[in-house]
Amino acid sequence: MQSYIPVNPYNIVKTYNIDYIIINVTNIQLNQSADVQVVFCDNTKFMVDVVSFTLSGEDYQNWGSNDDYIINYVCSKYNISLLQPP
């Protein structure tokens, strides 16, 4: 038997090690803003969390044409360190 059984709200707090991120940029409004989705994955590349935010104002203007800016912005925002290539 598999069905949704209602229960009182129950918070499960679990800490995951994040080994990979995927950054999706969508809904770009030229010269204004872009929606950014960050997918956090563990060492098996299993998705463990997803967050979204809007990049706008000065942060959007600083983007320019280099996508490294978005990677560095996300890493700074979520306190993530990039692994250096071997």
Where does 1-86 show beta strands of DSSP type E? 20-29, 33-41, 47-56
What is the percent of the chain with per-residue pLDDT over 70, rounded to a whole number?
87
Dist CA 64 CA 85 (whole Å):
24
| pLDDT higher than threshold 60 for residue 70 | yes
Which of the two residues, 53 and 49, has the higher pLDDT score?
53
| pLDDT higher than threshold 70 for residue 9 | no
